[in-house]
Amino acid sequence: MLTLVLSPFEINHTTVTSIAKLMSGIIILTVPTIAYGGYFLLTILAGYDKTALTDFQKAMFRAGHAHAGVLVLLSLIAQVLLDNVQLNAGMVLALRIAFPLAAILVSGGFFASAIGQGLTQPNGFITILYVGALLLVASLIVTGIALIF
């Protein structure tokens, strides 16, 4: 018989706060848009949609789609983790918003920077991606430190 040893960690059975539930619900409602994006990308890559895209554009769309999925999952996890930090309410709310906003900006930056006829390098909208990445990194650092202390 296999037994799972959790020591020195314990499972704390607590309820999720109402704001974490609200934010999680909103975040989950974005997943159908990611699924539709995956469908659209699949139709292009499979050759069913004859939209003319360069290899650069296809790569950026793939990256945007992948980042959207991963960062939305991170945003959901962050909502629960933020229930367990000792920060003022305003900072916690800002972090709750920052995680999904970063997901939108990073993935949106990939898409926006590749929109245009025959592009082979990012256009000026690549700045959106960098702003999202900075927001994500800052949110991760603040949340990580708050969880440790």
71-101 pLDDT tens trace: 999 999 999 999 999 999 999 999 999 999 9
Domain tally, the chain:
1
pLDDT in tens, 15-35: 899 999 999 999 999 999 999
Global pTM value:
0.89
pLDDT single digits (tens) 119-130? 999 999 999 999
- Would you say residue 40 lies in a domain? yes
Asked if residue 4 belongs to a domain, the reply is: no
**Six-digit token string for 89:** 């309410």
Q: Has residue 53 been placed in a domain?
A: yes
85 conformational bin, left if phi > 0, alpha if psi -120 to 50, beta if neither: beta
Report yes or no on 14 lying in a domain: no
Query: Is residue 50 very low, low, confident or very high in pLDDT (cuts 50, 70, 90)?
Result: confident
Q: How far apart are CA 80 and CA 68, in angstroms?
A: 19
137 is a domain residue: yes
pLDDT of the residue at 134: 98
Domain extent at residue 30: 19-148
User: Which residues have C-beta within 8 Å of that of residue 17, sequence separation ≥ 6?
Assistant: 83
Long-range contacts of 25-29 (CB under 8 A, 24+ apart): 26/100, 27/72, 27/75, 27/76, 27/79, 27/100, 28/76
Residue 7 lies in a domain: no
CB hemisphere CA count around 64 (13 angstroms): 29
Residue 114 in this model has a pLDDT that exceeds 70 = yes
pLDDT at 15: 84
For the chain, give the mean pLDDT.
93
Residue 64 CB partners (closer than 8 Å, separation 6+): 37, 107, 108, 109, 110, 111, 114
Domain annotation covers residue 54: yes
